[in-house]
């Protein structure tokens, strides 16, 4: 059994050298970012940024190959690694390039879902805190967005990553996604944005008839979790919250005695059943309002700015979250219900495991990270890479065939 160990942020500088030397999966990581592109310079045009001790932030770092990147990371041991765009020139040369010539040309289409954006609908936690009662929001987000990006936009290569603390990231890695313009990215993000409006906006979801099939499909996914998550764990119709729900219902659809009727029941499940009957009674037919409430409380909250900008940085897979010590590992979207953020390995645990297996492991040819709790996350990443490789290998064969024809 793996050795469990607690994490103390103060000892992070002592653990990072061993983590980067033995555990960071540089080979598959760099294979991913090369994308099998024929031009050797492609990888060297990618921006990396590093956060060092005391929040020292270094942008526009770039490397010619895996060896250079690995040497630098093992040398400076960054607290955090961020990945940016592929630029027109090597990012490390940006000071020598005219500003209007140094432009971001490609980047994965990315989505950042952060639990703090749900604070107005979470009853259990707030801010950076998460618990088992609110984590289903991330499961719902992954299921809805993964299906929409695949079915509605035709993307195949989605890399889902746990952020290490309170959310998840999605990297859409298809060639067509990487080449999208800011307008194209914004259009996709806007299509997926259902919850809109700031803190002062009480009603954040307004549906139009007929309801779009994408919205209907999203509601079906939410319905799988709504009773257990929203009505039991979050208790959204608890007595002190009833008026908030009632205020989401247009006055024309409200029974004047609705508050009294709802309070006649003693739990959120019973109250939701009453509300459903009230809004679907003859002459009202406000089932759409029920869907608006479900979406407001459960639909993914998106930051459009993160997705539309090519120059936006996002925390790298396999980076270590400095506050929690947890590794930003891949999530299998087909098995997302079984992903538990509270069992994600910490750097302390991994170093303990590598020390133990180094003493006992007979076959030392096995990669170090595959002798620890990091193994499952790396294998999910490698399976993602296998499918991705087929696309660029196919593209290279096609390109070769065209050259032969010429």
Active site residues: 47, 112, 114
Q: How far apart are CA 391 and CA 160, in angstroms?
A: 19
Nearest CA to 286 out of 316, 327, 315, 245 is that of 245
Establish whether the linkage from the previous residue to 210 is cis, with ω within 30° of 0.
yes
Q: How far from 215 is each of 136, 147, 205, CA to CA, in Å?
A: 19, 12, 11
Task: Report which DSSP code applies to 22.
Answer: I
Burial state string for 170-186 with b = 16 or more CB within 10 A and e = fewer than 16? bbbbbeebbebeeeebb
- Tell me how far the alpha carbon of residue 90 is from its chain's centroid: 27
Q: How far from 329 is each of 128, 150, 316, 335, 338, CA to CA, in Å?
A: 18, 22, 10, 14, 14
- Tell me how far the alpha carbon of residue 186 is from its chain's centroid: 17
For residue 236, count other CB atoms closer than 10 A to its CB. 24
For residue 387, count other CB atoms closer than 10 A to its CB. 11
E strand or H helix that includes residue 160: strand 158-162
Residues pairing with 315 in the sheet: 82
Burial state string for 22-38 with b = 16 or more CB within 10 A and e = fewer than 16? bbbbbebbbbbbebbbe
E strand or H helix that includes residue 201: none
């Amino acid at each position: 059994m793996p050795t469990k160990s607690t994490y103390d942020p103060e000892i992070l500088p002592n653990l990072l050298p061993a983590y980067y030397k033995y555990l960071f999966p540089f080979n598959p990581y760099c294979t991913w970012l090369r994308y099998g592109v024929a031009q050797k310079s492609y990888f060297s045009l990618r921006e990396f940024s590093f956060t060092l001790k005391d929040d020292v932030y270094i942008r526009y770092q770039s490397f010619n190959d895996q060896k250079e990147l690995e040497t630098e990371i093992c040398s400076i041991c960054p607290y955090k690694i961020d990945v940016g765009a592929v630029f027109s020139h090597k990012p490390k040369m940006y000071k020598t390039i005219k500003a209007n010539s140094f432009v971001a040309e490609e980047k994965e289409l990315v989505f950042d879902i952060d639990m703090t954006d749900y604070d107005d609908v979470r009853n259990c936690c707030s801010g950076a805190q998460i618990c088992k009662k609110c984590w289903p929001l991330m499961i719902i987000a992954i299921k809805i967005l993964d299906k929409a990006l695949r079915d509605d936009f035709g993307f195949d290569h989605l890399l889902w990553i746990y952020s290490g603390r309170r959310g998840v990231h999605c990297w859409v890695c298809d060639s067509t996604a990487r080449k999208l313009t800011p307008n194209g990215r914004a259009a996709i993000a806007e299509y997926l944005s259902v919850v809109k409006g700031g803190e002062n906006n009480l009603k954040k979801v307004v549906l139009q008839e007929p309801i779009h099939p994408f919205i209907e499909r999203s509601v079906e996914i939410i319905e799988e979790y709504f009773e257990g998550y929203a009505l039991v764990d979050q208790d959204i119709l608890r007595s002190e919250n009833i008026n908030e729900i009632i205020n989401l219902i247009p006055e024309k659809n409200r029974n004047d005695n609705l508050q009294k009727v709802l309070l006649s029941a003693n739990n959120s499940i019973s109250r939701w059943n009453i509300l459903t009957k009230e809004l679907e009674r003859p002459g009202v037919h406000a089932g759409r309002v029920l869907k608006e409430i479900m979406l407001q409380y459960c639909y993914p909250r998106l930051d459009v700015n993160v997705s539309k900008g090519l120059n936006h940085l996002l925390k790298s897979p396999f980076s270590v979250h400095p506050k929690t010590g947890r590794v930003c590992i891949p999530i299998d979207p087909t098995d997302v219900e079984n992903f538990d953020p509270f069992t994600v390995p910490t750097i302390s645990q991994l170093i303990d495991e590598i020390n133990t297996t180094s003493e006992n492991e007979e076959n030392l040819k096995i990669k170090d990270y595959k002798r620890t709790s990091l193994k499952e996350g790396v294998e999910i990443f490698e399976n993602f890479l296998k499918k991705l490789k087929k696309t660029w290998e196919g593209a290279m064969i096609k390109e070769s065939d065209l050259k032969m024809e010429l």
